[in-house]
Chain A
Amino acid sequence: MRSNVISYLKVFWGFKMDFELSNEQQLLKDSVSRLIADNYDLQKRGAIIKSADGYSKTVWKQLADLGLLGLSFSSNYGGFDGGPVEQMIVLEAFGTGLLIEPYLATIVLSGTAIQSAADENKKSELLSAISNGDHLMAFAHSERLSRYQLSQVETRAQLKNGNWILNGEKTTVLHGGIADTIIVTARTKGSDRSTDGISLFLVPAKTKGITVNSYPTIDGMQAADIKLSNVSVPQNALLGECDKGFLIIENIEQHGIAAVAAESVGAMQCVLDMTVDYLKTRTQFGRPIGDFQVLQHRAADMYVAVEEARSIAIYAAMMTTEKDTEKRRHAMATTKAQIGVSCREVGQGGVQLHGGIGITEEYAIGHYFKRLSMIERQFGDVEHHMTTLSMMDSPD
């Protein structure tokens, strides 16, 4: 199985206005979808949520065996050189199943950090370790006062006697409780909000002085608040150039945006499909409620919102590799704003059209709504990105 995956992942992929998946990409899509369909349903997911780790080691191993964890990493480090479209395919399928495994935290966010900033040794070590599923990572950046401002970092790092000493507090660190290595952002100079003077550090989770308070999140995942109290790591724990971490952080966020965009498309398509099914089967006034035009039109608007999200997720995939920083920034803000708008329209619409059962814990739609509501607020919400866009010139 694995060798198959490897062979079809090592295919050159060029965009050129071609929206159809290649045979290899279709195979990838089919195999991920099958994995989700066979191994993931609401009941199983519920059991995983309640388990001690809050994720399934079995599923994680399956993802590793399929080659999905190393999908987008360079083959020099044991990856499969997959492009942004392969990533999109995988995440869309994850969205369909509302997968709660630590893919975003370990592979997308931390993987991007390692790929873009680590030295060769660390790349070899960490990328292969996370690709084969043996090692989990988390990206600890958010703080209580940072909201969506990426440069708001109060956690401090000081170099003392050849070691970095970290002090501060990180919050809602995705899958922070199960991570083996935590990437911590800290201020190495400057004021609390300056973009200059932020650095990234690779910190083993077991390092003395780290207190991790892990908790379940509203969307079935796990997050942690992490206290760093005189945490000492060696000088080579620095990831990337000292003080110049902001661009890395921004790049991590942009990959996060592209990832949740694709994931949300999978989830939204499910919401739409479930809702349309419900409209066809639920009867009131002696006929299926889908006969009523007012409900048809709301469903049509949901369809449009899903398609807009799908388009913009493709755009994001195209633009994650854009070299021009400003263009990429604009594209990613555009993406996340549209995704937020669509998540809200589709999530709320799905609940409304389901009526009472839409707000029950027992029924699937509410779980999709919760994940979509969380995605709305990950990596900046609609208002945040619209404000960003308002301050920029459109490249069109």
Chain B
Amino acid sequence: MELAFSSEEIVFRDEIRAFIAEKLPESARKNGGRWPHWSKEDVVTWQRILNEKGWAVPHWPVEYGGTNWTAVQRYIFIEELLRTPTPEPLSFNVNMVGPVICTFGNDEQKKYFLPKLRNLDIWFCQGFSEPGAGSDLASLKTSAVKDGDEYVVNGQKIWTSQAHNADWIFALVRTNPNAAKPQMGISFLLIDMKSEGVTVRGIETIDESRHVNEVFFDNVRVPVSNIVGEENKGWDYAKFLLGNERTGIARVGLSRERLGRAKKLAAKLPSFNGPLADDPQFKRKCATVEMQLKSLEITIMRIIDRQRRRNDSAPDPATSMLKLRGAEIQQTTAELLADVAGPMVAPTGQIRAAYEGDFPAELEETLGIIPHYFNSRAATIYGGSNEIQRNIISKGILGL
């Protein structure tokens, strides 16, 4: 990349680095070095710091708080955040619902929501998947029936990440059960989580944590004015959302950061003839990941470059490749970390918590690795599983 970035871009990168070094709060810095990373407060605080600087939503149109950076600058920015690491700007707000409102929302919605999304005054979650609608998302059943100037929403969402932290949910709801195609009867609705009839139930995951939830809607009354864009056009907006800023989905910086972490940890642990970090097998695995990341990084640059030229909002099926490979590599780095930790992965969360402060400080992070590994298995499932991404490539690009 060094050669590829112009000198202006290098200056830009250094500016980002300096800003992070100066402004990242101590708590976030400390939590970034352990698993799991950040508290809600860390995420909110950091996004507000970015917002104050004017960097919370670089890719939004300038009139809504964007920075007018080039696509390459935006890539540099997010990669610097990831590899430091800092808390990530909340994707639901800045990459998903924000751009949808910017593009399809009405003036009132823009005025009300956009500043709050930027500053994380409102934390959004995403209500797409349902028990019967996963990869086949268009078969979703949660209904919204118009009653005067309100919709009455009934149904259930599932795998709703961060719903327990969220103030609002953007949900795909069925507004026309009789549409010619299931995709044509869906609307994009913003729902206040405090509304009567909304129930959130956590799902315990294999990493002994809570990321995802079930969200139930029982006669929830939502003002008609909370619909984004046109009724029954929600599927188009969802496709826009999934194709928008997907170049960040590969999370190259995150994988590099994890790889660096694995190498550091391996330097402290033994293998046959010296530290594990010097073991040829281990080094070989690291080198393979680095090769894959380099190919992926250039591919991202090519896609960004092409999108800049195309200058339209149609989703680019080539971004499926970034999700596919990015997620696979993230998983490889998580595997690598778990392999380095070795038998130290055994204790359950409760025991690990009890170890706190009573464990060699330099090895403390091994304690959080196994939940991270388990959680990483979701990377090829959420946001369109890797199998779905292959479907998109074979249909959208290869024409099969």
Contact = CB atoms under 8 A, between A and B. Distances in A.
Interface string A288-309: 0011010111011101100111
Given A311-B295, A312-B298, A396-B293, A389 B287 contact: yes
A392 B297 CA distance: 20
Contacts of B363: none
Nearest to A275: B398
A280 B394 CA distance: 12
Q: On chain A, which size bracket covers the interface?
A: 35 or more
Nearest to B393: A300
Interface in B373-394: 387, 389-391, 393-394
A303 B283 contact: no
Contacts of A276: 398-400
Instruction: Tell me what chain B mostly uses at the interface: helix, strand, loop, or mixed.
Output: helix
B309 interface: yes
Interface stretch (A251-259, A262-270, A314-322): A314-322
Nearest to B282: A390
Contacts of B180: none
B324 A394 contact: no
Interface residues of B, number: 45
B301 A17 contact: yes
A279 interface: yes
Nearest to A319: B3
A61 interface: no
Instruction: Tell me what chain A mostly uses at the interface: helix, strand, loop, or mixed.
Output: helix
A12 interface: no
Interface in A326-362: 327, 334, 337-338
Given A276-B400, A279-B400, A299-B400, A17 B394 contact: no
B325 interface: yes
Contacts of A285: none
Contacts, number: 122
A297 B394 contact: yes
Contacts of A304: 321, 324-325, 393
Given A17-B4, A303-B398, A318-B4, A334 B280 contact: no
B305 interface: yes
B327 to A, nearest CB: 12
Contacts of A389: 287, 290-291
A296 B4 contact: no
A396 to B, nearest CB: 6
A296 B298 contact: no
A242 interface: no
B2 to A, nearest CB: 7
B29 to A, nearest CB: 22
8 contacts: A17-B5, A18-B305, A19-B306, A276-B400, A280-B399, A291-B400, A307-B318, A312-B294
Interface of B: 1-6, 9, 72, 256, 280, 283-284, 286-288, 290-299, 301-302, 305-306, 309, 318, 321, 324-325, 387, 389-391, 393-395, 397-400
Interface of A: 15-20, 272, 276, 279-280, 290-291, 293, 295-297, 299-301, 303-304, 307-312, 314-315, 318-319, 322, 327, 334, 337-338, 386-387, 389-392, 394-396
